[in-house]
């Protein structure tokens, strides 16, 4: 293989690594920015569901059901956002592996 071509491929690989790191940091920031409103919405819907349906005698069945549903939504919101981070990392790793294999073969 031509030495100049090898040097160019190494430069491209380093640029790809830098852009991948930037993408990963941006993805983490996006997930955090998505997690905050999701979490706030879950908490506020729990509050609304519990106290809006409260009767003079205490909590209604509907209020307790709404609270339970909202409380169950919080772990799912967190899990879905963590899955986004995990999948972005896996995509980045696979892309690096494929590019590095091509670099070795040529």
Segments making up each domain of the chain, as ranges: 21-105
User: Which ranges of the chain does DSSP label H, i.e. alpha helix?
Assistant: 3-51, 61-105
CA-CA distance, 36 to 74, in Å (whole number)? 11
CA-CA distance, 52 to 33, in Å (whole number)? 28
| pLDDT per position as a tens digit, 66-100 | 777 777 777 877 787 778 778 777 777 777 777 66
Q: Is the pLDDT of residue 106 over 60?
A: no
Res 18: pLDDT = 74
Residue 43 near residue 66, CB atoms below 8 Å: no
Contacts of 73 (CB under 8 A, 6+ apart): 42, 45
Res 30: pLDDT = 72
Helix, strand or coil, per DSSP, at residue 56: coil
Res 105: pLDDT = 59
| pLDDT per position as a tens digit, 31-73 | 777 777 777 777 777 677 666 666 666 666 777 777 777 777 7
CA-CA distance, 63 to 46, in Å (whole number)? 9
Grade residue 20 by pLDDT with cuts at 50, 70 and 90: confident
């Amino acid at each position: 293989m031509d030495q100049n071509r090898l040097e160019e491929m190494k430069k491209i690989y380093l640029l790809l690594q830098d852009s991948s790191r930037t993408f990963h940091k941006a993805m983490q920031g996006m997930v955090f920015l998505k997690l905050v409103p999701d979490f706030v919405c879950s908490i506020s819907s729990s509050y609304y569901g519990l106290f809006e349906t409260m009767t003079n005698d205490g909590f209604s069945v509907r209020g307790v059901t709404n609270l339970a549903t909202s409380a169950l939504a919080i772990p799912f919101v967190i899990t879905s956002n963590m899955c986004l981070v995990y999948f972005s990392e896996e995509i980045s790793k696979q892309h690096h592996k494929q590019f590095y294999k091509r670099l070795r073969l040529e």
